[in-house]
Amino acid sequence: MKRRQILGGMAGGAAAASCPAFALADSGAPPLTLLVAGPDGSQTSRWGNACALAFSPFLPGAPAIIPRPVGGLDGVTGANQLDALVVPDGKTAAILPGAALIAFLTGDSRVHFDPTRWLPLLAGTNSGILMLRGTPPTIAALRARPPLRIAANQPQSPDLAGLLGLARLGIATAPVFGLRDTDAKTRAFIAGEVDAVFLCGEGVPEDAAPLSAAGAVPFFSIGALGPQGDMGPDPLFPGVPEAQSLGPAISPDMDAVYRAAAAAAQLDFLLVLPKLTDPGAVARWTQASAQAATSPALSAAASASSISLQPATALAGALADLAIQPTAQSGMLAYLAKNYGWQPS
């Protein structure tokens, strides 16, 4: 089954479980809420429905978990509500896309939340690989050649990890912005308009196939998050080096912002509790998340999407990478402004 079919099937079950009448009839505990940072029917919403259904049996009393979609696709509105309006009583968790973290990292003026203070429960992580035309040259050769034409949406997107992965190595780029999805990037590569594409998100192995057929080869990956928050090679792309293994960064600050961008790009979704949640409630949610991650339905949905389900310890490591120094963030924004003429909104 395709990943949307699996998630859609799970969503139907979750919708039934979210009915208050159903909850009172079949549950021994009052319903809980899952704040979903994204519109109903979006990718984050589908994962929210799936997680609500998977978590319920493992919480005391098997309460119905009612998904509550909020805001737009980038998750910023939902993240703001999590910090500003959610009472930390353990009755509400939240699921958000990694895009909200990229908005935080790039200084989006709409951001009024701090993800480094959220309490982690579960993460769904994806692959990210940079592909180049032909046999990849050495780092020295890439530094000596004209700026690399790379397909990109905009800096405030998962493409930031690919751009900074090159920048940390001192490789100049000339992004072709406005290519919003993988199909557009692939068409640009086949047409010879770009020589590099950064793929990131669900189904990356599928997306890489047409690029490989057109003569692209992987240059680096952004790695894979391990259970303890450590970074290692991506098991879906064995033999492809992780970006940091290619050489030292041109500055410690550039290394820090790259790690933050890579952490945000890797997170397809993250499930968290608000700061200051009661420790007892955190323990119950954490235990439920560990059990839900091994449930057949959620595991199947993740596998179909090329997503790895990672525990709270892994997500804690990713969120810690976002806690960069203000000078490092300012330096990154200055780099984006100088090289790409980009300013945060």
Residue 89 C-beta-side C-alpha neighbours within 13 Å: 6
Backbone angles phi, psi at 156, to 5 degrees: -85, 70
Q: Which tokens go with 251?
A: 């500055």
Task: Tell me what pLDDT residue 17 has.
Answer: 38
Question: Of 162, 155, 181, 156, which Cα lies nearest the Cα of 103?
Answer: 156
Q: Under 8 Å CB-to-CB from 342, ≥6 apart: which residues?
A: 154, 155, 156, 336
Long-range contacts of the stretch 114-119 (C-beta < 8 A, 24+)? 114/83, 114/275, 115/79, 115/272, 115/319, 115/322, 116/319, 116/320, 116/322, 116/323, 117/275, 118/82, 118/94, 118/272, 118/273, 118/274, 118/275, 118/319, 119/272, 119/273, 119/274, 119/275, 119/277, 119/282
Q: Could you tell me which residues are beta bridge partners of residue 224? A: 232
Which residue spans within the chain are E strands per DSSP? 32-37, 65-70, 92-97, 119-125, 127-133, 150-151, 196-201, 216-221, 224-225, 231-232, 267-273, 308-311
Which residues of the chain fall below pLDDT 70?
1-27
Q: ∠4-20-275 over CA atoms, to 5°? A: 75
Three-class secondary structure of residue 78 per DSSP: helix
State the Cα–Cα distance between residues 20 and 253, nearest whole angstrom.
50
Q: What is the CA radius of gyration of the chain?
A: 20
